[in-house]
Chain A
Amino acid sequence: MALPNVLETPPSGFNFENVFRNVALEGLLEGGRTKAPKPMKTGTTIAGVVCKDGVVLGADTRATSSEVVADKMCAKIHYIAPNIYCCGAGTAADTEKTTDLLSSNLTIFSMDSGRNPRVVMAANILQDMLFRYRGQIGAHLILGGVDCTGSHLYTVGPYGDIDKVTYLAMGSGDLAALGILEDRFKPNMELEEAKELVRDAIHSGIMSDLGSGNNIDICVITKQGVDYLRPYQESEFKDKRQMRYKYHPGTTPILTEKIVPLQMEVVQETVQRMDTA
């Protein structure tokens, strides 16, 4: 079975060959001064609300990597299908990849069967995928969409747990956002009212949580279509550069100049006729 020249290609999918090495490396690094690089988390506030004609999803736009803001205009509302969008909190790469895979699977399904995907299918696929990896994929997602059965809002946790509710908030700022939602949510709200509510919820998350900040994105999904407002509201704390940091031409003095022309000669010339019909 394991003769030296008979190669068994490793199976596709995740490869655990380097886990021992990584654990040993981390032990070595912690003893020294350097630390292993941390993955970029989104440290987020995301919220969703079901209103009379559809679903309103909202998110902030800050992505952090420990104490540093890694991305000030990160897009946290991901496209899944023309009628389904998904907000993601947790490890940024995990949410992006998971939602990408989900979107591809739903596209294949809709091309195969000729039907529009339903939100419950997206939720089930996510649940299967995340449970299979037992929470190692750090993706906390809010799935919202409008399909032939109505408007739905689901939350999927990293271990694959699902909840179907009418208003939701996730991420590190979820408690602040949930406070606003609990206070002012009414079933069957109008669209404008729902947008204001989500904006206020995200705003309170931004104000009360260090991991959330910068601008607010809103995505409105209705039977007629999707309105992705990015940014819905820019933060009032944008920094203004004090000076221009571009150097004008001539800043660096030229000491000497030497021009060497390259001798090129035509070696071969081929003419191919094109059919211009």
Chain B
Amino acid sequence: MNTRGLRSQLKDSVPVTGLGTQIGAYGVQDTLRSGFSSVKNELLPSHALELSEKNFQLNQDKMNFSTLRNIQGLHAPLKLQMEYRAARQIQRLPFLQSSHLALDTLKGNDESISFEDILNDPAQSEMMGEPHIMVEYKLGLM
């Protein structure tokens, strides 16, 4: 659910960051998947909504926590964030799809449907990373 955020909480919203591209083999941009590289592509968003969508969840969380802190005190967002962090740690191995059930229940996403649930389902993603390398990367052995 969205909070009707107070104007004063906008100072906490996430600033504009660069739009990274997919790095392919040899550390160069993957031309097949992301097109030719140009400075314009990386600095300017291609669509009006690209930046706001990228940071939408982050901004919502920040505004919600900020309002919660103002109403109930510091302990409220602290406890919530601790629970989120704990729930985020129970996942499958990095190359498999995790259901994020605990995290979704905590955030309240199990009670609403939006475009995140319909479009671009990560379970249907057609690309897969290499399992061994991904696990080594996650464990910090790479």
Contact = CB atoms under 8 A, between A and B. Distances in A.
A256 interface: no
A14 B129 CA distance: 22
Given A7-B128, A101-B113, A108-B111, A12 B119 contact: yes
The interface centre, meaning the residue of A16, A19, A133 with most chain B CB atoms within 10 A of its CB, is A16
A84 to B, nearest CB: 17
Given A2-B22, A7-B127, A132-B56, A13 B115 contact: yes
A46 B87 CA distance: 47
A129 B95 contact: no
Given A2-B20, A14-B49, A20-B35, A108 B115 contact: no
Contacts of B113: 101, 104-105, 108
A65 B25 CA distance: 44
A3 B136 CA distance: 12
Range class of the A interface residue count: 20 to 34
Nearest to A101: B113
B35 A109 contact: no
Interface in A1-58: 2-7, 9-17, 19-21, 23
Contacts of B89: none
B123 to A, nearest CB: 9
Given A6-B129, A21-B35, A109-B111, A16 B23 contact: no
Interface stretch (B9-17, B40-48, B62-70, B71-79): B40-48
A16 B112 contact: no
A13 B46 contact: no
Given A15-B120, A134-B49, A128 B2 contact: yes
Contacts of B133: 3, 5-6
Contacts of A132: 2, 52, 56
A257 interface: no
Contact of B115 (A14, A19, A23, A109): A14
A134 B114 contact: no
B41 A20 contact: yes
Contact of B23 (A4, A19, A109): A4
Q: Which of A6, A23, A109, A133 has the most CB of B within 10 A?
A: A6
A136 interface: yes
Contacts of B2: 128, 132
A112 interface: yes
A202 B129 CA distance: 56
B134 A129 contact: no
Contacts of B48: 134, 136
A10 B125 contact: yes
Given A2-B23, A6-B129, 4 more contacts: A4-B24, A9-B122, A12-B120, A101-B118
11 contacts: A5-B134, A9-B127, A12-B117, A13-B53, A16-B45, A20-B41, A20-B46, A108-B111, A108-B113, A132-B52, A134-B49
